[in-house]
Structure 1
């Protein structure tokens, strides 16, 4: 699973870059099976879930610290639409210290997510706790890219 240090130092980008390169490659060959398994395991550690704005608001309201910062995946796709992730608690504090996010009120964080309502919100576990809310861009997000390659990693509510 990603750690707060991975995020605040930028090391998380190295892992995402490897996965994106794999997803950009032509259809996998049988020798890529081991890599598929490694990527699935790494993604699963984040326990990513697609959640509603109501659920996202509950996480935001329960947090001690809230911050807004550029989506982590956007560093790999600077041409993509700008949207902000919401970082919570210890991750928020670390991202603020690293200059990668700014302090936000709960209202500001909710408004940011609502302003990007056409993007599904994904919550990810960082250092063992759900601390990242992202209005995901389906073309750039490592989770959506994994789904497109047949890796069912995003948990959704059962209808």
Structure 2
């Protein structure tokens, strides 16, 4: 499972970058292969789940702290159009502390998710709790790319 420290240190970005490199280089089908099984096992620990804006708002309202910052997968794709995710509680605090996000109100968090409307909302479990809400851009999203390679990982 990803931990808050993985986001703070940038380890999560390195892991995503490594997974994208594997997807680009691998010619063999991933489902059932040793590499595919290893990737699937690691990703499943993040419990990515597609959610509605109403579900996202509930998570935001239940949080003690909210922050907004650049989408994690976009860090691996620096040429991508800038867009932000919403981070909650300990993840919000950690990313604000290292300058990767800024605190926002509940209303600003909701507006952030509505502003970047180009893709589905996906929530990720960090340190065992849903703390990252992303308005995904499927082309750059590791989850959607894994799905494209027939490694289902997003709970619906």
> For residue 103 of structure 1, what is the aligned residue in structure 2?
103
1:18-64 alpha-carbon deviations (Å, 9 max, x no partner) = 1101111252268x921111110111000000101010000001000
Runs of 4+ in 1 over 4 A off after TM superposition: none
> For residue 127 of structure 2, what is the aligned residue in structure 1?
127
Aligned residues: 155
> For residue 11 of structure 2, what is the aligned residue in structure 1?
11
Gap regions ≥5 residues in structure 1: none
Separation in structure 2 between the aligned mates of residue 29 and residue 126 of structure 1, nearest angstrom = 29
Separation in structure 2 between the aligned mates of residue 29 and residue 135 of structure 1, nearest angstrom = 28
1:68-111 alpha-carbon deviations (Å, 9 max, x no partner) = 00001111111112110100000000000011000000100100
| SS of 2:114 mapped into structure 1 | helix
> For residue 91 of structure 1, what is the aligned residue in structure 2?
91
Alignment of 1:2-151 (within 5 A): 2-28=2-28, 33-151=33-151
Which deviates the most, 112-121 or 36-45? 112-121
Separation in structure 2 between the aligned mates of residue 115 and residue 121 of structure 1, nearest angstrom = 12
| SS of 2:33 mapped into structure 1 | helix
| SS of 1:143 mapped into structure 2 | helix
Separation in structure 2 between the aligned mates of residue 116 and residue 127 of structure 1, nearest angstrom = 26
